[in-house]
Amino acid sequence: MGRLPDEVLAVLCCPVCRLPLARADAAVRCPDRHSFDVARQGYLNLITGRVPTGSADTAEMVAARVDFLAAGHYAPLAQLLADAATAHAPTADGLVADAGAGIGYYLGALLDRRPAALGLAMDLSPLALRRAARVHPALGAVGWDVWRPWPVRDEAATVLLNVFAPRNGPEFHRVLRRDGVLLVVTPGPDHLAELGAEAGLLGVDPDKDRRLTATLGDRFRLTARESRTVPLALSPVDVWRVVHMGPAGHHRSDPRPEPDAAAEPVSVTASFVLSVFRPVRSSTGLPS
């Protein structure tokens, strides 16, 4: 069972009044007595008001992602992120925050390489957060809609991860240290292309990298970009998993195939683009 580390709680703030949070039995509370539950699985739910419908991962999507990632198919991407953090982060300690962390797979792999660091996984799906809370003892999982202003102190993070997830440029900039690094992973142009027509996956926008840089605007400066292609041999079950674990899973209900040892694996290309950004700040701390 996971547990929210005290050191992670210390970088959070009340989403209502922005005051610090402290433990209060099976909850956390701010001095203005706004209270938020810590689930028995170890994650903290800070979501207030109306929860966006249709955005959070379903039980089927989470299960598909857990099984697919556990098989090691995207381990090269996890290693690429950990290598980039080692090469570009100003220090090996501090907070690593993952916006749209899902089950915490990439954040957990990075923390395995950075034993002095802390991890903050933010996601909208309680089902994913249950998994994330158990990934690593230095990781705290928090329920939050990353499109909204984050319940995180200014300049709290040394590293920000954003892997196939929504991007909130203003909050990235506010939460990241002046010398911190933002690591964004987007699908490459050939990502899962072999499955596109058969599985109904959306094609990758060929202009995606330019639009990513434009979205972050004058708040960030692109300092490095690396592409990685990984050939995969997927069983019919793994094909089903990779289709259902992503956004397409919201719109599909086809049954999971039974394992078939005699079935020929499908050759598929996984294609990733890792973009490394630095925050741009003036003497006031705002974009120059």
Q: Where residue 248 falls among pLDDT bands split at 50, 70, 90?
A: low
Q: Where are the alpha helices (DSSP H) in the chain?
A: 6-9, 59-70, 75-88, 105-113, 126-132, 169-175, 196-199, 208-216, 236-244
Token pair in block for residue 216: 């972050």
CA atoms 10, 15, 19, 22: torsion sign: negative
Collapsing DSSP states into helix, strand and coil, what is residue 194? helix
Cα separation, 88 vs 163, in Å, equals 17
Q: What is the mean pLDDT of residues 90-98?
A: 95
Smallest CA-to-CA distance from 11 within 85, 69, 101, 97 is with 97
11-29 pLDDT, tens digit each: 999 999 999 999 998 899 9
How many angstroms separate the CA atoms of 237 and 259, rounded? 6
Mean of pLDDT values over 106-128: 96
Q: Is the pLDDT of residue 280 over 80?
A: yes
Average pLDDT, the chain: 89
pLDDT value at 151 more than 50:
yes
Query: Tokens 């005290």 appear where?
Result: 6
The neighbouring-strand residues paired with 277 are 182, 222
pLDDT value of residue 108 = 97
SS3 158: strand
What CA–CA distance (Å, rounded) separates 86 from 175?
A: 20
Report the pLDDT value the prediction gives residue 3, as an integer from 0 to 100. Answer: 85
Other Cβ atoms less than 10 A from the Cβ of 241: the count is: 26
Q: Are 117 and 95 in contact (CB under 8 A)?
A: yes
Token pair recorded at residue 181: 């690094």
**pTM of this prediction?**
0.91
